[in-house]
Amino acid sequence: MAELSEFGFRPGDSFFHALDVRCKLACFILISLTSLNIHLLSLLLLTLTIAGAILHIRLSFLAIFKEIRYFFLLLAFVFIARALSTPGATLAEIRFPVTLTVTEQGVYDGILVCWRLLVIVILSLVFVSTTRSSEVKAAVEWLFSPFPFIPGKRLGAMIGLLMRFIPVILNQVKETADAQRARGVENRKNPIYRLVKFVIPLMRRTFEDADKLILAMEARCYSENRTGPELAFSGKDGLAVLVMIIFIILLLTIG
């Protein structure tokens, strides 16, 4: 059986669990946008703050690393592309098979971009781990309720189902990888062959699970018009937003 994924709600009594979902969503958006406009010192302070939040909600750093280990491959490609394509002072030259120039500015930009992307991913993990999908659905409905031409309930249902389906996809990834490992596919030297043999079964099983979910929802007469959880904004939520705004100003000032 697949192990539990960190990309899912985990019950708890932390400060972040108790916050109103609209407050958490606003703070998540503000911090994510701020992380795209700050530099190394501010990113270091933000990273330490996020690490403290992870300890507070009792998530395992090792488990998080295992969950996002494939994301580091994407970050490696982004870093290499930045290091080789950004103009600046030459740091090193690679002459095989063609001459490639690594620049100091490219290395700096690569580190900065990869760090920002990693911060946003970990922030999303903290948000998902402390927020029920039903609460996110209710928050989306509340956000779009003033706009009559936008189907807020339908959007909320779609986002709620998406949050529930992410752990299912990750479990499918683990099961497919285990099945391939048991059949010795990893002994193939051709990486394209291994990738094809991994992606095709994964996509097929994912779409099959999606079809089963749709049939189950239709069999139970599922409707987007459902009673969601009540949203209550308290003084603690207002204080959290105020502290977040002060923290963002501090990050921008340092940056």
Residues 126 and 142 in one domain: no
- Consecutive H or E run containing 80: helix 69-85
Phi, psi (5° rounding) for residue 51? -60, -40
In whole angstroms, give the CA distance from residue 225 to residue 245.
35
Instruction: Judge whether 116 lies within some domain.
Output: yes
Tell me whether residue 46 is exposed, middle or buried, using C-beta atoms within 10 angstroms of its C-beta: 0 to 12, 13 to 18, 19 or more: buried
Strand partners, 100: 94
Note the pLDDT tens digit of each residue in 173-228. Answer: 888 888 888 888 777 777 787 778 888 888 888 888 888 887 887 788 777 677 76
Instruction: Judge whether 2 lies within some domain.
Output: no
Tokens for 14? 């932390």
Residues 22 and 123 in one domain: yes
Residues 16 and 106 in one domain: yes
Angstrom distances, CA of residue 34 to CA of 31, 46, 50, 54, 128: 5, 10, 14, 19, 19
Residues 122 and 176 in one domain: no
Note the pLDDT tens digit of each residue in 228-246. Answer: 677 778 888 888 889 999 9
Instruction: Judge whether 254 lies within some domain.
Output: yes
Residues 126 and 144 in one domain: no
Residues 110 and 15 in one domain: yes
Residues 83 and 194 in one domain: no
Residues spanned by the domain of 19: 9-131+235-255
Q: How many domains would you assign to the chain?
A: 2
